[in-house]
Amino acid sequence: MAILENYLAKEIGAEEAMTNLSLKKSQFFNLASQYKNDSDNFNIKHRGNDGNRRISDQAEENILAELEVEQKLINDKNIPIKFYNYSAIKESLEEKHQIKVALSTIINRAKDNGYYIEKPERKIHDREVLTNLAGELTQHDSSHHLWSPYMDKKLYLITTIDDYSRLLLYAELVEQENAWKHILALKSVFLQYGCPLKYYPDQDSIFRFVKNRDKHRPHNNYSKFTDDVDTQWKQVLIECQVGITYALSPQAKGKVERPYRWLQDRIVRVAAKEKITTTEGLRKVLKELVNKYNTKWVHSTTKEIPIARFENALKNNKSLFKSFKIEKVNQTIDDIFCLKAERIVDSYRKISFDGLELRVPNGIPRQTVNLKIAPDTKKGLVKIRFWQNDSFLGEVLEKLENLSTVRF
């Protein structure tokens, strides 16, 4: 019955449930219907699927060991794990110990030994996003958690997902969240896949200026209304002609939640079992899990592997991704994926920026100059390119350490 509960809660797909119950399609859906209509009086006796059938002592020992690890993770309030993940245990047993047991066997052992937490009824999303084409909508978000119980610092997981195919287009762990980290996410997606039709983030101040909430941010005043100010991240979208719409509540971003839960569960569990202690170690785990999610995991809603659904969309001309192109003469990638600022050129063709006095070659005095600011963190340098009236004037290099307020 636990398998039917998981299926009806959409935690596992029909194929997985049929396999675990050793049932044919018609038998399974008849049973699922009976259980849904009258769960109190439902009873199943199916030969070959006794959840408490005898398994090897080694399998028994490994199941209980995995459940014990899960319990420790759940009890740690700093870790984003609230429930047992029996499917993850099944995968771990197969991959690490070459032990194959039915999901129902693991769930029954969990219940018999006190490793079971009833999940609350799922909340209905107040806004559902429906797309018919790849690139029609890309969901973008971040979460802040302690990803390994063997580390003393939390990290941000920044993720972008194509709504149609559920393909994870970008996933990265960073120590600090700021506009530049999210601009790098845009750069990665646009250069690898192209520019989508629209982005769908939440209303965090990195993505959207909101009146009253953000009125005290630098250079903004009370007269500014919501969306009167384009954030640095939003300016990149505008320049690339990509639309944007905002989720009005956490529930409205429902489709990105399942991949997030999948990644969160797996990252924390793998980190705990492998005793990961470094950010680079976590990034390696993340890379392997994203590859598994994109290329092997059958999504419970689409019933397809994300990369297969995405590639089929491209093949069948069901994509709104457009190739990223440089439009202006002398323009480079650093003029687009960058932080932007404006200054007035003085009579000596100089400007003041972040405590630095910079010479602007060929700048017209007493007119506005546009600054395109992009760092090279490995070299500890920042490149500042000057534009005026759509004409490129030149660039300068400065040490990152000399910028007192700009953070990358």
- pLDDT (tens, 9 = 90+) of the chain, 408 residues, equals 667 777 777 767 787 777 777 777 777 787 777 777 766 666 655 444 444 457 888 888 889 988 888 888 888 877 778 888 888 888 888 888 888 888 888 999 888 888 888 877 655 444 444 689 999 999 999 989 889 989 989 999 999 999 999 999 999 999 999 999 999 999 999 999 999 999 999 888 899 878 655 555 554 444 454 455 899 999 999 999 999 998 876 555 555 566 777 888 889 889 988 889 999 999 999 999 999 999 998 887 888 999 999 999 999 999 999 999 998 899 999 999 999 999 999 999 999 998 889 999 889 999 999 999 999 888 899 999 999 988 999 999 999 888 877 766
The pLDDT, as a whole number, for residue 32 is 79
At which residue do the structure tokens 């500042």 appear? 384
The pLDDT, as a whole number, for residue 385 is 95
At which residue do the structure tokens 């002592």 appear? 57
Q: Give φ, ψ of 377 to 5 degrees.
A: -65, -30
Indicate the Cα dihedral angle 301, 305, 306, 311, nearest 10°: -130
In the chain, what are the helix, strand and coil shares in percent, each to the nearest 5? 35, 20, 45
pLDDT digits (tens, 9 = 90+) for 86-137: 888 888 888 888 888 888 889 998 888 888 888 776 554 444 446 899 999 9
- Could you tell me the two tokens for 9? 């809660």
Please tell me the pTM assigned to this model: 0.76
> Hey, where are the domains in the chain?
2-112, 138-315, 333-402
Q: Mind spelling out the 3-state secondary structure of 193-213?
A: HCECCEEECCCCCCCCCCCCC
Q: How many CB atoms lie within 10 A of CB 27?
A: 13
How many helices (H) and strands (E) would you count in the chain?
11, 11
Q: How far apart are CA 150 and CA 119, in angstroms?
A: 27
The pLDDT, as a whole number, for residue 263 is 84
Query: Do 86 and 110 meet the contact criterion of CB atoms below 8 Å apart?
Result: yes
Is domain 138-315 annotated with CATH 3.30.420.10? yes
**372 Cβ contact partners less than 8 Å away, ≥ 6 residues apart:** 334, 335, 338, 339, 340, 384, 385, 386, 387
Q: How far apart are CA 263 and CA 293, in angstroms?
A: 8
Strand partners of residue 170: 160
**Residue type (1 letter), 172:** E
**65 Cβ contact partners less than 8 Å away, ≥ 6 residues apart:** none
Query: Do 116 and 104 meet the contact criterion of CB atoms below 8 Å apart?
Result: no
